[in-house]
């Protein structure tokens, strides 16, 4: 028997009877509620480290578990081009979320507590990903995302005409940024169409893989395993038709590009991306960034929100694999995320947290945990907005029927 099953089995047996040789004992609902009231709360510094102290289920091996939003870790970092270490990112972000609790989770800007609203949110644990074989790792992640992404949401019955409630959604804690490719593969399969991507990053991540020079590989052979890396996954996604190439946008760019001209930007434009540079915030402010994203993407098209923590300046978030000076502040990024809450986000990630390069205050992990909280808030609020539309449409139909 697998060790992970033993605690579940023990809990089930103890609920039915006492230890062997002792009299069976049943527990009343009132007694269980009293125990939960007395012992069911953790302080920020206590308890098992799940994201925001959420319930934990290994969702991949427990398909009977229903949820609306799952937090899934992707501890993978063997596709990086500079500093490894993001395999420890999911653990660090969970630790950074320790002060987030359901009893103190109200988000004043949104007017909701995402942890106590309509959505069932759970921590699904990590995808077990090999660190030895990137081709196998890509296959493992692709199959895991399809397995999790195609599950019905727990709240589906609450609003049968509300499409936002039909499929469970995932927020991934990375891991390096290459994990976006298998996530987009799964979303394309689930939603039967390309997905718009809103990409916060210092880097393009649309580079042709041959821009990483090597005389050992054929630049025309797209099956080359090294083509799967954290700077080329969106290039691969575009080649596979996974991205809506007239509705996607980069935000926070400030990277150096290849060669002696702007060929990287030309290639990026041909892939259908709009670029918002880090410096643009000085000219148009956070409101201008928000408006630019919303005008490009709209509110109805399904969106994958991908957030590389290096979009934040390394002075504020040093624990990342490819730091680029001159980035946005944590406050600016959070303000922009709050402004795009109307996006139809069907999946998201927070990636490239490498805690080995963080300081003793764990500022990068704290920033990533707050970013994840804002994304969750947006997902939950969008669900409430959709319920409002459904209710309004029903009222309108009833009024027309009366006429």
User: Residue 213's pLDDT band (boundaries 50, 70, 90)?
Assistant: confident
Please answer whether residues 92 and 309 qualify as being in contact, where contact means their C-beta atoms are separated by less than 8 angstroms.
no
pLDDT digits (tens, 9 = 90+) for 345-381: 999 999 999 999 999 999 999 999 999 999 999 999 9
Rounded distance, CA 221 to CA 185, Å? Answer: 20
Give the residue with greater pLDDT, 224 vs 13. 224
What pLDDT shows up at residue 225?
A: 79
Residue ranges of domains in the chain: 46-213+225-394
CA angle at 344 for the pair 342 and 345, rounded to the nearest 5°? 110
Closest CA to 302 of 345, 261, 342, 264: 345
Question: Quick one: pLDDT at residue 215?
Answer: 67
Check whether 256 has a pLDDT greater than 80. yes
* Closest CA relative to residue 205, chosen from 287, 271, 301, 148: 271
Residues of the chain by 3-state class (helix, strand, coil), percent to 5: 45, 15, 40
Report phi then psi at 328, rounded to 5. Answer: -70, 160
Where do the DSSP E strands lie in 180-299? 196-200, 248-253, 273-277
Pick the CATH number of 46-213+225-394 from 3.40.50.300, 3.90.1150.10, 3.40.800.10, 3.40.50.1010: 3.40.800.10
pLDDT attached to residue 331: 97
Tens-digit pLDDT profile for residues 33-76: 999 999 988 888 998 999 999 999 999 999 999 999 999 999 99
pLDDT band at 306 (very low <50, low <70, confident <90, very high): very high
Task: Give the model's confidence band at 398: pLDDT under 50 very low, under 70 low, under 90 confident, else very high.
Answer: low
b/e 371-383 (16+ beta carbons within 10 angstroms → b): bbbbbbbbbbbbb
DSSP 195: B
Residue 344 in contact with residue 357, Cβ under 8 Å?
no
pLDDT of residue 164: 67
The mean predicted confidence, pLDDT, of the chain is 89
Banded model confidence at residue 321, pLDDT cuts 50, 70, 90: very high
What pLDDT shows up at residue 18? 46
Mean pLDDT (whole number) for 166-185: 95
* Annotation: binding site for Mn(2+): 177, 201, 203, 205, 308, 310
The residue ranges of DSSP E strands in 151-230, in sequence order, are: 169-174, 196-200
Residue bearing the bigger pLDDT, 23 or 305 = 305
Give the rounded percent of residues in the chain with a pLDDT score beyond 70: 87
Would you state the pLDDT for residue 25?
A: 74
Quote the pTM value.
0.89
Q: Answer whether 352's CB lies under 8 Å from 331's CB.
A: no
The binding site consists of 177, 201, 203, 205, 308, 310
Does 211 score more than 90 pLDDT?
Answer: no
Confidence of residue 227 (pLDDT cuts 50, 70, 90): confident
**What is the mean predicted confidence (pLDDT) over 7-21?**
45
Higher pLDDT, 244 or 150: 244
**Partners of 269 in beta bridges:** none
Minimal CA–CA distance to 337: which of 296, 299, 293? 293
Identify whether the C-beta of residue 92 lies closer than 8 Å to the C-beta of residue 355.
Answer: yes
Helix or strand holding residue 396 (H, E)? helix 363-402
Q: Give the angle 194-89-239 at the CA atoms, nearest 5°.
A: 25
Tens of pLDDT, residues 125-171: 999 999 999 999 999 999 999 999 888 888 765 554 566 678 899 99
Among candidate residues 127, 120, 162, the one with its CA nearest the CA of residue 148: 127
Instruction: Please tell me the distance from the alpha carbon of residue 391 to that of residue 399, in angstroms, as a whole number.
Output: 12
Per-residue pLDDT at 401 exceeds 80: no
Judge whether 90 and 75 are in contact, CB under 8 Å: yes
How many residues belong to the chain?
403
What are the start-end ranges of the H helices in 114-208? 134-149, 180-191
Q: Is the predicted pLDDT of residue 190 greater than 50, yes or no?
A: yes
pLDDT the model gives residue 312: 98
């Amino acid at each position: 028997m697998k060790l992970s099953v033993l605690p579940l089995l023990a809990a089930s047996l103890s609920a039915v009877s006492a230890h062997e040789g002792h009299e069976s004992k049943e527990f009343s609902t009132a007694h269980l509620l009293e125990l939960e009231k007395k012992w069911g709360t953790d302080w920020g510094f206590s308890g098992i480290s799940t994201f925001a102290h959420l319930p934990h289920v290994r969702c991949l091996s427990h398909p009977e578990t229903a949820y609306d939003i799952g937090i899934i870790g992707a501890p993978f970092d063997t596709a990086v081009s500079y500093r490894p270490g993001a395999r420890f990112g999911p653990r660090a972000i969970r630790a950074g979320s320790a002060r987030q609790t359901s009893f103190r989770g109200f988000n004043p800007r949104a007017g909701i507590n995402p942890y106590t609203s309509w959505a069932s949110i759970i921590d699904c644990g990590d995808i077990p990903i090999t660190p030895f074989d990137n081709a196998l790792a890509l296959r493992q992640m692709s199959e895991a995302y399809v397995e999790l992404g195609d599950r019905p949401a727990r709240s589906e019955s609450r609003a049968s005409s509300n499409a936002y409630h039909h499929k469970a959604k995932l927020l991934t804690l990375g891991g390096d940024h290459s994990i976006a490719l298998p996530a987009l593969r799964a979303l394309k399969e689930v939603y039967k169409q390309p997905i718009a991507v809103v990409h916060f990053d210092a880097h393009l991540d649309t580079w042709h893989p041959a821009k990483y020079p090597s005389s050992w590989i054929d630049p025309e052979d797209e099956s080359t395993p090294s083509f799967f890396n954290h700077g080329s996954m969106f290039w691969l996604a575009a080649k596979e038709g996974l991205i809506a190439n007239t509705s996607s946008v980069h935000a926070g760019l400030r990277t150096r590009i290849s060669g002696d001209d702007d060929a990287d930007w030309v290639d990026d434009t041909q892939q259908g991306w709009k670029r918002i540079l880090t410096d643009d915030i000085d000219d148009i402010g956070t409101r201008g960034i928000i408006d630019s994203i919303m005008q490009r993407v709209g509110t109805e098209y399904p969106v994958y929100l991908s957030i590389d923590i290096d979009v934040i300046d390394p002075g504020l978030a040093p624990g990342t694999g490819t730091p680029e000076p001159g980035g946005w502040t944590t406050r600016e990024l959070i303000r922009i995320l709050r402004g795009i809450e109307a996006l139809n986000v069907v999946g998201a990630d927070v990636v490239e947290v490498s805690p080995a390069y963080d300081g003793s205050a764990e500022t990068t992990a704290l920033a990533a945990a707050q970013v994840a909280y804002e994304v969750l808030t947006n997902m939950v609020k969008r669900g409430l907005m959709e319920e409002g539309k459904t209710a309004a449409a029903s009222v309108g139909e009833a009024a027309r029927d009366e006429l």
